[in-house]
Amino acid sequence: MARGFDVEEAFAHLCKRDRKLGAWLRRLGPIEANPQWRKPFDPVDALARAILYQQLSGKAAATIVGRVETAIGSDRFHCDTLARIDDATLRGCGVSGNKTLALRDLARREEAGEIPSLRRMATMSDDAIVAALVPVRGIGRWTVEMMLMFRLGRPDVLPIDDLGIRKGAQAVDKLDAMPAPKALAARGERWGPYRSYASFYLWRIADAAAGAKPVKRSQG
């Protein structure tokens, strides 16, 4: 399965299917295809980095990641490279106890063959990838959804629990409050099969409605 999708087709489809969202799309202009869709990546390494980046500023997380890379003598996080250092060394790099446990669980599952490779993911549905990865300690549905959208280029993902997505939907429909996740899922049905592209816009719409500078979002 090729990664990514035709963003021009997605733009036209969303404008046709949803007049309110379409008005925002025209106002904000086309969003380009994500260059990460064409770049190879390693799911285990990406998940390890997602764990390390959780609940930290980008700068703080990058510092910790750099220390761990130095300690393991590699820029790839895997069961074999993570096995080179003990928990105390990880903690010394600034990795929290919970994140240390999460990295160990990820490494154990990789060794057991439970983490699908990029090639294997190409044959799996979005739901199957979510089901395979959320059992990993520290990996929630949102993290997997970001991987599906930004790395695997899956066209039809709508992260209904994401606050930015909900705020964007609130602005599109001029609601007094953010829609509940269940209501957003129902609202988003008409955006299929390009709910990922709609999501890219909902984040920008939320930023625009708040008068904020756009927040860069990525996975891994």
Q: Which residues are tagged catalytic?
A: 162
**Closest Cα partner for 96 from 137, 142, 130?**
137
Rounded CA separation 4/38 (Å): 8
Phi-psi label, residue 94: left if phi above 0, alpha if psi -120 to 50, beta otherwise: left
The answer to whether 209 and 167 have CB atoms below 8 angstroms apart is yes
For residue 36, give the DSSP letter: G
Burial 205-214 (b: 16+ CB within 10 A, else e): bbbbeeeeee
Rounded CA separation 199/149 (Å): 9
Rounded CA separation 202/199 (Å): 5
Non-local (6+) Cβ contacts of 41 within 8 A are 118, 151, 220
- Cis-peptide into 193, omega within 30 deg: yes
Rounded CA separation 178/165 (Å): 9
Strands, E assignment, the chain? none
